[in-house]
Structure 1
Amino acid sequence: MSDEAYLDRLVDEDRLRSYLADALGPADRLEIERVDEGHSNETLFVTWGEQDLVVRRPPPGKTADTAHDVLREHRVVSSLQETDVPVPETVLASDDHEVIGSDFYVMGRLNGDVIRTEESDWLATRDARGRVSTELVDTLAAIHGVDYEAVGLGEFGYPEGFTQRQVDRWHEQFEWARETTADHRDLPELERVTAWLDEHVPAEHPHTLVHGDYKLDNVMLAPANADGATDAGDPEVVAVFDWEMATLGDPFTDLGWMLSFWHDADDPEPPIPDLYPTLTAREGYLTRRELIDRYEDQTGFEFDEPRFYVVLAIYKMAALGEMFFRRHLEGNSDDPLYPRMEDGVSRLFDEATSLIDGEYEI
């Protein structure tokens, strides 16, 4: 499918033009560009007159329940506008599928850098890498320190029993994906890892706001202000993105997820290099242990079960990969990563079983 044909599936330009004119006033310029770095919800850069905007919508076609809930994402980002958590400004939201064929919301566009598989030059120094590390973990601590009752998110989730429900939920996502993918190949370690997680769910955990997808490439970095608390040029997190999985629950699921994408110098090769870059092994970045220590200092929480939470994170990524593979088989994505999940999910299970068997440490 061509890029233009796929974009046509994501947005009807004439209907979006009419919607924006009614909501924001007329403009003589509409430009739409699909951002293809992500692998879940779709992100569109939209220029409306002099306004630089971002539209978030689910991918086309059938999706698993709650897996692409952009209106949920809009609600939490709107609720965090006046907190210490950096988020983009929300502008509009709509559940009218007559506009672009799905729920969607609109936010302001920010300027900065996102570290995916490489660093920008200004971030590629020892000091900048250390600052990126501390900014990342301190921002996670800020998310977990939000008074969710005070910002109107008191009924946003059910923290009690959250971690067990995570294991159950991601097993259900596997089952949804396997309705299609099971005919194409086996996943012999699926039941073993599921059973191990069931047996090792921690009995208790703190109750906080949870991001659900917190990692280095879901934050935007920019130089700090000259008159701010840091020297000009130091990187700071200016926005946290991709809140579609946010809820109230166990903050350690966020920490385990972040750590699962963090590569230390003596780690084995990652199972899927495109998803698990190794750049954090470079000089200056904190190690996973240093990140954990700083997180505990910032929050006052004790992170006692790192192996469980990182295995859970890998299991979640494997479930997402299986869902990606189903979408590929059904022709509902042009993402080149999705077909690679045919083998990638099995490699993720190899990683999970290596941790379970104690072949390397967190």
Structure 2
Amino acid sequence: MADELKLSVDDTLAALRAVGESTRLRLIALLSESELTVKDATAILGQSQPRISRHLKLLAEAGLILRFPEGSWVYYRLADGPAADAARDLICRISKDDPVLTGDRERFQAIRKAKAEEAAAYFAAKAKTWDTERSLHAADSDVEKALLAALGDKPFQSFLDLGTGTGRLLELLSSRYTSALGIDASHDMLSVARANLARSGLSNAQVRHGDIYALNVPPRSFDVVAVHQVLHFLDDPARALAEAARALRPGGRLLIIDFAPHELEFLRETHAHRRLGFGHDQMRRWVEALDLEMEQVTDLAPQTDNDTKLTVTLWLARDPRIVTDLPLANTTREVA
């Protein structure tokens, strides 16, 4: 392991002091399985909100966990890096039959189940509207098959899904990426996505509330960025694509899936569509203006020849900058 990925003596002692308390150790054990809110942790551990908040603050100050504000809530998760890795290793060495941690896990699962039921109720309430829209275009299975074919079988490190909705792409591509982040502006949709990820057991994918026009992610940090059936809801699609391109690593790929141009005006009124599809030339201009190269364009026409049916188009673009792999001692990536 490279030296920068190891802890100094002082950092090791700081990490051990941070977890060397019953409540904080229990919190780390929970966060090693999933992200939590203060409300979740309070219900699971049976302690007051101020007490839980104080312990979470200490863990965050020690660099073991990260906090992500989302509206009036804050989600916590384990951080990346050697200190958090040491905490994970410590949790792995505790007996799985420990009665305290077993009780915490059982209460956590009960909370997850309740959230999944709430998310299912929300999804059911929206299903009629979504089913109407899905009936207008190629089957979701065909679109997903084309998406997988476009990306190929080669695994990649990091995936960003903009407008993640129910988190479907995070699930679909779970075997391809090492880590993933889904971003959506809808708190209700994020509740659905979290329930779906928990049900699928995907601990390497997270979802966050965010603005597609102002992404709170580091530049050049994702190998694949997807914008799936999102652009037609936006007033300024080009601006959203610029943010997506900013997040791409050199050599990274931008996957856009949306409707081809159509004349179904009722979608503006009943489905909140702002744009009635996008043409090949228009998308190519936007992509090339971002210094990306269009690699593939695929049209998926509806199975029936009907003026009320929509064609789905898949555009795949790549950042042409070249990535030079550096020696093992230096894990940063540079543009050649």
TM-score higher than 0.5 here? no
Task: Compare the two structures and name the one with the higher strand fraction.
Answer: 2
User: Normalising TM by the smaller chain, what interval?
Assistant: under 0.3
Of structures 1 and 2, the one scoring higher in RCO (CA 8 A, sep 6+) is 1
Rg larger for? 2
